[in-house]
Amino acid sequence: MDIVIIGTGNVATILGRKMLLAGHRILQVFGRHPGRTAGLAERLGADPVHAVGDLSARADLILLALSDSSYASVAGSMPHTRSLVVHTAGAVSLQVLKGCGDRYGVLYPLQSLSCELDEIPDFPLLIDGNGEESLQILQSLAAGLSKIVVRADDDTRLRYHLGGVLVNNFTNHLYALTAAWCEKEGIAFSLLQPLITETAVRLARVLPAAVQTGPAIRHDAVSLEKHRRLLEGSPGLSALYEALTKSIQQFHHKK
Ligand SMILES: NC(=O)c1ccc[n+]([C@@H]2O[C@H](COP(=O)([O-])OP(=O)(O)OC[C@H]3O[C@@H](n4cnc5c(N)ncnc54)[C@H](OP(=O)(O)O)[C@@H]3O)[C@@H](O)[C@H]2O)c1
C-alpha cells in the first residue's frame, strides 16, 4: 500500500515503522514541526509535508495519528480524498472522519507506544470502518501488522481503551509513586522488579483475582497498621493505600 502519515508522535512513528517492515511504502509524513517531520520522514523514506494542500492524491491510505482533540480540526481542513482515511484513537468516534471522503475507519493499537522503543512490541489492532469495503481493506492491512486483529465499534473500542487505562496507566502511576517513595526511604525500587514481572507474566495463565495476596486480603490488621504509620508522611500514597485496601477487602468478601 502507498501510505501518507499525518502526525509525527509515538503512534505515527511506531505504526510507520511497522508498516515499512510489512512492505508498505510511506509516501509522505505531514507535521507541524519542521524538525520532527523531517526526522520521521527520513526514517520512513518519505517526503516531509507541512500543508494539507500538498497531500498526495496517490495514497491508498491516509493515517492520522494526532492528539485526540485535534482530529476534528485536522480532518476538517483536509481536501476531500479518494484514499481510505483512518485514525488511531481509542476514545474518538469513527464519525470524526466522515467529511474526509467515502471511505474512513479506525486502526487502534491496544498497546502503550513510545517513539523511543527499539523493539516494537506485539499489540492487538482494533479496527472499524464506515462500510464493508473500508473494513476489508483495514482487515487485510492490519493482518500484515499484527497477529491479533479485532473488529470493534466506537463503544467497544472505548471500553478497551478504558481497560487499558486501568491496567496500564493506573498501575504505572502506582509504580511511579512507589519508586519516588522508595527513593525517599533509601530503599531500592529495583528489588521490586521481579515482583512486578512475575505477577504480569502469571496473568497470561490465571485470572487476577486468583493471584491476589497481601495483608489486605488476609485482613492482617497488625501489618496494615505498620504500613499506615510508614505512609503518614505521604498523603497521596496513604489515600491510595486506604482506597485499594478497602477495595480488595470488599471485592474478595463478595466472592
Ligand atoms: N501512545 C500510545 O500509547 C497510544 C496507543 C494507542 C493509541 N494512541 C492514540 O494515537 C494518537 C496519537 O497518540 P501519540 O501517543 O502518538 O501522541 P503524540 O506522541 O503526542 O503525537 C501527537 C501528534 O499530533 C500532532 N498534533 C497535535 N495537535 C495537532 C494539530 N492541531 N494539528 C496538527 N498536528 C497536531 C502533534 O504535533 P506536534 O508535535 O507539532 O505537537 C504530534 O505529531 C492519539 O489519538 C492516541 O489516543 C496512542
Q: Which residues contact 80 (CB under 8 A, 6 or more apart)?
A: 99, 100, 101
Q: Cβ distance 90 to 152 under 8 Å? A: no
- For residue 46, report the distance from its CA to the centre of ligand 1, in Å: 19
For residue 68, give the ligand 1 atom closest to its CA: 45
Report the pocket of ligand 1 as residue ranges, CB < 6 Å.
7-12, 31-33, 36, 65-68, 70, 73-74, 88-90, 108-109, 112-113
Angle at CA of residue 217, ends 213 and 222, nearest 5°: 105
Percent of the chain with pLDDT over 90: 97
**Minimal-distance CA residue to ligand 1 atom 24:** 66
For residue 36, give the ligand 1 atom closest to its CA: 39
**pTM, two decimal places:** 0.94
Reported as a single tens digit per residue, the pLDDT across 100-125 is 999 999 999 999 999 988 899 889 99
Q: Cβ distance 100 to 80 under 8 Å? A: yes
pLDDT tops 70 at residue 255: no
